[in-house]
Structure 1
Amino acid sequence: MSKVNVILVLSFVVASFTAFGQKINKLDSQGRRTGIWKKYYENGDIRYEGEFKNGKEIGTFSFYNQGSSYPEIVKIFSNTSDTASVKFYNKTRVKTKGKMVGKKRVGKWIYYFADGQRIFSEENYENGLLDGVVKNYYDNGNVTEETFYEEGRKHGTSKIYTEEGILIEDVIYVDGKLNGLGKYYDLKGVIKEKGIYENGARKGKWEYYIDGEVSAKGRPRKSMLKDDAKPKQEEEE
C-alpha cells in the first residue's frame, strides 16, 4: 500500500471515530438530550446507555453496577406514553419485573426466587403505592400469604398458610390496623382462637380452643401452651 493510500485510510478511520463521537451525549438546539447517551464510572466502567429524543428516553436503557458487564436494570420505554417496562437482573437471571411511570411503580410487579423462574411474590401498585392483592409464595409454588392493600396500607383480608396450603391465620385490616374478626388455626387447620380486633388491639372476650372445642374456661390450659404461644392479655370491654 502506498504512503498516500495509508494516509487516506487513516484519515477515514479518524473521521469515522470523530463522527461517531459527535453522536454520543449530544444536546439539541433547545438544550435537550438527543441521540445515544452513555455515562461511565470514574474507573471507566459503563454506568448506563440509552437513547433520547426531544429530551425523553426512548427504546432500551441499560444500567450497570460498577465492575459488572451485565446490566442490573433494563428499562424499555414506550413510544406512546410515559410508561417503562422494567427488569432487575442478577447477571442473566431476572429478579424482578414490572412497569414504572417516572420513578413510581404501577400495575403488577413480580419477584422471583434465585433461579429466575419460580415466583416468590406478586404485588400490585397504583401511583407508586401498594394497591390490591399481594401474594407471597413458598418455593413449592403454594401461597404463604395473601394480603390486600389500599394506598400503601393493609386494607382488607390477610391470610397466612403453611407450606402444605393449610390456613393458619385469617384477619382483617382497616387502614393498616387490625380490625374485625381474627381467627388462628393450628398446623392441621383446626381452630385455636378467635375474637375481635379494634384499632390494632384485641377487644372483648376471645375464644380459645383445644382440639377444635372451646376450652371450658374460655382459654387453653397454660400447661398445653408453649411460652411463645400463650395468648396476650385481653383488654377489658
Structure 2
Amino acid sequence: MPAHLISNKNGLAYYENTPFSGTTYTLFPNQKDTSEIFYYLEGKEHGIWKKFYANKQIREKREFKDGKKVGTLFKWWENGKMQMQYVFEDDEYQGTCKEWNDTGMLIKEMNYAKGHEEGSQKWWYDNGKIKSNYIIKNGRRFGLLGTKNCINVTDSIFKK
C-alpha cells in the first residue's frame, strides 16, 4: 500500500480509521522505483524496514518488533560501503555501535548498555588519528576527550 494512504494517530499507523497491518512503500518522485518499504502490525512498526538510493543500492535496513527498534540497524553509503551498524534492544542502543566514513575507514566505535554509553568509546578522524578515546565507568568519563587529555570535561569547566 502506498505510504501516503496511512495516517499517524497517537504513534500508531492507521488506514481508514483502523490500526494498519501490512506493508507500505514510497516511490522516488517521478519514478516507479521504490525508495522505502515499511511493515506494520496492528498499527505498530513491525518487521524489517528498508530504504534505497535512487540507483537501487540499499541505503538502510532496520528491524522493529511491536513498535520498538530491535536487532541491528545497518546503513550504507551510496557507494555501497557500510556507513553505520547500531544494535538495538527494546528500543535502546545496546552493545557495540560502529560508524565508517565513505571510504570504509572506521571513525566511531561506541559501547552501550541499556541506551547509555558504557565502557570503551573511540572516535577517529578521517586520517586515522584518534579523536577521542575514553571509558565510561560508573557514569563518569575517563580518557582522551577531543583535545582534553585525561580530564573530565565538566571538571575542567567548573574547577578553577
**What is the TM-score with the length of structure 1 in the denominator?**
0.50
Name 1:86's counterpart in structure 2: 24
Instruction: Please give the secondary structure, in 2, of the residue aligned with 1:188.
Output: coil
Q: Is structure 2 residue 64 aligned with structure 1 residue 125?
A: yes
Name 1:203's counterpart in structure 2: 141
Instruction: Please give the secondary structure, in 1, of the residue aligned with 2:80.
Output: coil
Instruction: Please give the secondary structure, in 2, of the residue aligned with 1:85.
Output: strand
How much does 1:118 deviate?
A: 1.8
Q: Read off the aligned partner of 1:174 and give its amino acid letter.
A: A
Give the counterpart of 1:106 among 46, 56, 60: 46
How much does 1:180 deviate?
A: 0.7
State which structure, 1 or 2, has the greater radius of gyration over its C-alpha atoms: 1
Q: Distance in 2 between the 1:143 and 1:84 partners? A: 29
How much does 1:207 deviate?
A: 4.4
Query: For the structure 1 residues 64 and 110, does the alpha-carbon distance in structure 2 shift closer, same or farther, using more than 3 Å as the test?
Result: closer
Instruction: Please give the secondary structure, in 1, of the residue aligned with 2:56.
Output: coil
Q: Distance in 2 between the 1:100 and 1:93 partners? A: 21
Name 1:162's counterpart in structure 2: 101
Q: Distance in 2 between the 1:230 and 1:93 partners? A: 46
Instruction: Please give the secondary structure, in 2, of the residue aligned with 1:131.
Output: strand
Name 2:37's counterpart in structure 1: 97
Q: Distance in 2 between the 1:116 and 1:129 partners? A: 29
Q: Distance in 1 between the 2:44 and 2:123 partners? A: 36
How much does 1:109 deviate?
A: 0.7
- For residues 30-89 of structure 1, the C-alpha deviation after alignment (integer angstroms, 9 at most, x for no partner) is xxxxxxxxxxxxxxxxxxxxxxxxxxxxxxx55767xxxxxxxxx9xxxxxx95233222
Q: Distance in 2 between the 1:193 and 1:230 partners? A: 8
- Structure 2: gaps (5+ residues): 6-14, 156-160
Name 1:187's counterpart in structure 2: 126
Instruction: Verify the 8 A CA contact 1:93 1:116 in the aligned structure 2.
Output: no
Name the structure with the higher strand share: 2
Instruction: Please give the secondary structure, in 2, of the residue aligned with 1:160.
Output: strand
Question: RCO higher in 1 or 2 (8 Å CA, sep ≥ 6)?
Answer: 2
- For residues 183-218 of structure 1, the C-alpha deviation after alignment (integer angstroms, 9 at most, x for no partner) is 12232334444221247x6523x148xxxxxxxxxx
How much does 1:139 deviate?
A: 0.9
Task: Please give the residue correspondences for 1:1-237 in structure 2 after superposition, counting only pairs within 5 Å.
Answer: 84-91=22-29, 92-113=32-53, 115=54, 117-198=56-137, 202-204=140-142, 206-207=143-144, 229-231=146-148, 233-234=151-152
Q: Distance in 1 between the 2:4 and 2:135 partners? A: 50
**What is the TM-score with the length of structure 2 in the denominator?**
0.71
- Structure 1: gaps (5+ residues): 1-60, 66-74, 76-81, 209-228
